[in-house]
Structure 1
Amino acid sequence: MATASSTTSVAELTGSRKRSRRLAAILDAVAEQGEISLHGLRELVGGSIATVRRDLTVLADQGLLVRTHGGAKATSSVLELPVDLRDTRFQEAKRRIARAAVALVPRERHAVALSGGSTTAGVARELAHHSDLTVVTNSLSIASLVAPHPRLKVVMTGGILRAQSLELVGVLAEGTFSAVNIGTAILGADGVSAEAGITTHDETEARTNHAMVASARRTIVVADGSKIGRTALAQMCPADLVHVLITDDSADPAELDRLRASGVEIIVVAAGEETPAA
């Protein structure tokens, strides 16, 4: 896993969104299969064997996977994509999810809490069209997106910075969320299921986001279809605390039915078309 002391991000090393999407696809394949061959990766992402080898070198140098003689395997510490790679995936679906979420935010004085993540970052961009909102967040990325808009008031939590997600976590962040009254919490997720609830890869981040949900009158979860039916390490909240889930039409319909049975209102947007990874 890339550490806080790393001075070069994956995005700086990749140089283009096209390559970033390819690296994200490689990390997904390694995480899902545990180990995969060079030829398997070439079939997945396209390009030449030499290109795949260069991609693996970038990811191995950042500690995100382990090179093997014929391919790559996951490390025990790799649990999530770095934020600069996550932002390149499922972009059109995330834009449509963000617009649907913002349409549910009242056009009046209101406090909105946003967790970190690429989908919630899309929500933050869309909130620029609102006024008289207070945005409470523990995400440096979200705060930087909202800050240029003078009609939006930004409240940042304290806490310890997680390099992978650029979020502030821990007791200081939890204390900030517990001290304010939030109208709508908009929560990103690494996994969404009726059984496991809304989950993320880091237990400290999960506790911080649970404090956000506990302070909110309404919770909206925004997650692209790849997250539906998945379970990550730590629960942020059970499904029955979620009022609305906004996802896209690539989501597993059976899992959406199970979430509806848990009392969650489901809004499904069109996924749109993605640019191929290679």
Structure 2
Amino acid sequence: MRGTERRARLLEALGLGEIDVDDLARRFGVSASTVRRDLQHLSDTKAVRRTYGGAILAAAAPETTLDQRLAINGPEKQAIGRAALALIADGETLILDAGSTVTAFGRLLFDRRLRIITNNLALLPCLAQAPRIDLVVLGGNLRATSMSTVGPLAIESLQRMTADRAVMSADGVVAGRGLCEASLDQVALKSAMIAQSRETIVLANAGKLGRAEQMAWAPLPRRWTLVTDAAVPPDQHQCFAEAGAGLVVAGA
């Protein structure tokens, strides 16, 4: 069992309240010291909090608003957006997720010839004026913190369409686990976006890699593309390659 898979299963076990290191070692067929190293790795990424003899899942971090996220790491998000532009061809159909990095990317598409399907309400004032963009807006329940729509109406309408690429964001991206978000509504829609697209592109600055601070997860397909910035740690390259990601580093 690879380390990324083992740590994902370890998190699932912790979610059920299982913290006995020796029992987990026997279940996974590894030594107790390997389980302790896995727990330390998860602690370093803030996914768990170490306790005497084991660990517990970390509490979910409070969700920031879209305006707060837009004000953070602005140059990195612009660089990631520009790098992602090279992956898009005119005439394609894109699904654009909500999120500040996807918003930064979407604003760069103004002069492109595309069909865009999105739940990202923050992009509408820009894309509605774009002369060569055919814009489809997903309805549903409003999430004011992310200025997006979610829920059954968004999923049902999305399932009637397909796209060349889904361009995704997340609160955290963990190799072998997927996209981490604050609510089940978000990950249900993200999973539908991935299912309806031929290719998945995830835009995430290096600070989001390995973060598992929220409770809801959307698994990623076997092959996908991660676009990040130059601060990505070297050890993350190997982790994401093993998880099926093609890595694009902005500015590299």
Q: Give the structure-1-normalised TM-score.
A: 0.66
Q: Deviations over 1:236-256 (max 9, x none)?
A: 223x44511000122232123
**Partner amino acid, structure 1, of 2:66:** V
Of 252-261 and 153-162, the range deviating more from structure 2:
252-261
Q: How far apart, in 2, do the equivalents of 1:113 and 1:175 lie?
A: 15
2:232 is the counterpart of 1:244:
no
1:110 aligns with one of 92, 103, 117:
92
Q: How far apart, in 2, do the equivalents of 1:122 and 1:242 lie?
A: 24
1:87 aligns with one of 70, 73, 76:
70
2:122 is the counterpart of 1:160:
no
1:179 aligns with one of 151, 160, 171:
160
Identity of aligned residues (%): 31
Which position in structure 1 is the counterpart of 2:175?
A: 194
2:242 is the counterpart of 1:258:
no
Q: How far apart, in 1, do the equivalents of 2:72 and 2:132 lie?
A: 30
Q: Deviations over 1:95-133 (max 9, x none)?
A: 0100111111112x21101001110011111111311x1
Q: How far apart, in 2, do the equivalents of 1:228 and 1:146 lie?
A: 29
Q: How far apart, in 2, do the equivalents of 1:180 and 1:128 lie?
A: 22
**Partner amino acid, structure 1, of 2:139:** G
Alpha carbons 2:77, 2:104 under 8 Å: kept: yes
Question: Residue 194 of structure 2 aligns to a residue in which SS?
Answer: helix
Alpha carbons 2:165, 2:201 under 8 Å: kept: yes
How far off its partner does 1:142 sit? 2.0
Question: Residue 167 of structure 2 aligns to a residue in which SS?
Answer: strand
Question: Residue 130 of structure 1 aligns to a residue in which SS?
Answer: coil
Which position in structure 2 is the counterpart of 1:101?
A: 84
2:193 is the counterpart of 1:205:
no
Alpha carbons 2:176, 2:243 under 8 Å: kept: no
How far off its partner does 1:137 sit? 0.3
> What is the number of residues matched between the two proteins?
194
Q: How far apart, in 1, do the equivalents of 2:126 and 2:231 lie?
A: 28
Alpha carbons 2:101, 2:204 under 8 Å: kept: yes
Which position in structure 1 is the counterpart of 2:8?
A: none
Alpha carbons 1:193, 1:255 under 8 Å: kept: no
Aligned CA-pair RMSD: 1.8
**Partner amino acid, structure 2, of 1:252:** P
Change (3 A) 1:256 1:202: farther
Q: Give the structure-2-normalised TM-score.
A: 0.73
The answer for unaligned runs of 5 or more in structure 2 is: 1-45, 47-58
How far off its partner does 1:209 sit? 1.2
**Partner amino acid, structure 1, of 2:71:** T
**Partner amino acid, structure 1, of 2:218:** M
**Partner amino acid, structure 1, of 2:104:** G
Aligned positions of 1:63-74 closer than 5 A: none
1:215 aligns with one of 188, 193, 196:
196
2:108 aligns with one of 118, 126, 129:
126
Aligned positions of 1:24-103 closer than 5 A: 79-103=62-86
Q: How far apart, in 1, do the equivalents of 2:64 and 2:160 lie?
A: 31
**Partner amino acid, structure 2, of 1:79:** P
Q: How far apart, in 1, do the equivalents of 2:149 and 2:192 lie?
A: 13
Alpha carbons 1:196, 1:235 under 8 Å: kept: yes
